[in-house]
Amino acid sequence: MSNGLSHIKELTLSGKDYVLVLPGWYPTWQDASPGDFNQRHVIAASLYVPQLVLYITKDLTGNLKQVEERFMQVSQTLAEIIVVYPASTHVAAPFVSNLRFLQLLKKYAAQIIHQFGKPKLLHAYIVLRGGWAAMLLSKQWEIPYCLSEHWTIYYPEDPGYFKKRNPVFKFIVRKVLRHTAMFIPVTQSLLERVIAFAGPLPATVVPNVVDTEKFYYLPGKSDAGTFRFVHISTMYYQKNPEGLLRSFAAFAKQHNNVELLMVGPVPAGIMGFAKSLGLEQIVQFTGSVHYDEVARILRTADALVLFSRYENLPCVILESLCCAVPVISTKVGGIAEVISAQNGILVVNEDEAALLEALENMYVNQGRYNRADIAENAKALFSYASVGRQLNQIYERLLQDANSFPGSV
């Protein structure tokens, strides 16, 4: 079920108790990719507790002339209100945009209360704007909020590093973090980074989610004679595709039965760079593909390879493991928390010689991995049921804890 409706009054949720979800990133009808990992978390939580999503964002196409809204009945326990407003061209565009956001938050929050009553909890995703919105409504409604976080700004390798931001940004982020009843990072590494500048927080690590109905182990490969490495990303600076291609070029000179499939949008110059390395016959670029196609491609892979400069916990690594595909990755963010000698190889960020060695190691020792075990262990950790259960336990703990609500903001 995923039915578009014309009015909030047509939305329903089974049961009186529900969680109001306030994401900072979430898929829209304009672009289904941003925040899709947040949406999967919400789906997982909705298996246990009804979820109502309110996502307000500005138009990035430049085509919108007025506010547009979509009401989606995803299931009996999940409904979505997606609101997109025109981007401002004013000289003070950030201020105007934030003011518009607050006006719409007030409007739709009132409608939600009228239609569904007060939620039992608020669950924000991403400190801005999700956490900001949750903090404001938490004060108004006197209910606690928890905050899930995936953002990489807490790592100095990110050009948008938190400590480089303006004082107002840093003030709001710290305030949101310090008033959350439960901080829910996707990795222990991220938790440690946040505590370093925000101080001690009540926290529980909950990983990203994999749709294991799409990503699963299928024994056997059709191209048994060719060893296929797959890379899946946006291929921008963070993902370091140039470094990956240089290492693969050196590796491919030693083997005539290997290939690299680069999956995702291809920035200008990357295909030309691959050609300059003589890789046009053994490196293929698919461009953007549907989520279902990502799953199909992973099931044809012998190994996933990432060479990112910084990350938290890439969903594609978890999806690869659920497909029983071992992983080569840089040891950044929380990746070392899920990759071990039993399911992959970790290398140092920016070390192209180490990546070359890892490619060779994976190729030569491909038979050492127990793929069925890799898939079984990953499914147990990252499925909708597993992650949803963890989120439900957090909700129950917050509601039982008389001190969970931090009081006046």
Q: What is the distance between the alpha carbons of residues 54 and 14, in angstroms, rounded to a whole number?
A: 17
40 and 82 co-located in one domain: yes
In this predicted structure, the answer to whether residue 62 has a pLDDT above a threshold of 90 is no
Q: Report if residue 407 sits inside a domain.
A: no
Give the pairing of strands 68-75 and 19-23: unpaired
CATH of the domain at 316: 3.40.50.2000
Q: Report if residue 24 sits inside a domain.
A: yes
pLDDT of residue 407: 47
137 and 200 co-located in one domain: yes
Q: What is the distance between the alpha carbons of residues 59 and 29, in angstroms, rounded to a whole number?
A: 11
pLDDT of residue 225: 85
The residue behind tokens 């140039």 is: 242
**Half-sphere exposure (CA, 13 Å, Cβ side) for 92?**
5
203 and 325 co-located in one domain: no
Q: How many domains does the chain have?
A: 2
The residue behind tokens 């963070």 is: 238
* pLDDT class of 220 with cuts at 50, 70, 90: confident
Which of these ranges, 231-245, 250-264, 393-407, has the smallest mean pLDDT?
Answer: 393-407
Task: Find out whether 71 and 11 touch, Cβ atoms under 8 Å.
Answer: yes
pLDDT of residue 366: 87
Which of these ranges, 78-82, 218-222, 243-247, 368-372, has the smallest mean pLDDT?
Answer: 218-222
In this predicted structure, the answer to whether residue 222 has a pLDDT above a threshold of 80 is no
pLDDT of residue 406: 53
pLDDT in tens, 1-21: 556 788 999 999 997 799 999
Q: Report if residue 215 sits inside a domain.
A: no
pLDDT in tens, 110-139: 999 999 999 999 999 999 999 999 999 999
392 and 369 co-located in one domain: no
pLDDT in tens, 351-361: 999 999 999 99
Q: Report if residue 16 sits inside a domain.
A: yes
Q: Report if residue 70 sits inside a domain.
A: yes
What angle do the packed helices 315-322 and 371-382 form, to 10 degrees? 130
Q: Which residues span the domain enclosing 140?
A: 3-209+385-400
Tokens of 321: 């493991």
In this predicted structure, the answer to whether residue 363 has a pLDDT above a threshold of 80 is yes
252 and 177 co-located in one domain: no
pLDDT mean over 192-213: 96
Cis, peptide link before residue 129, omega less than 30° from 0: yes
* pLDDT class of 94 with cuts at 50, 70, 90: confident
292 and 305 co-located in one domain: yes
pLDDT of residue 92: 85
pLDDT of residue 405: 52
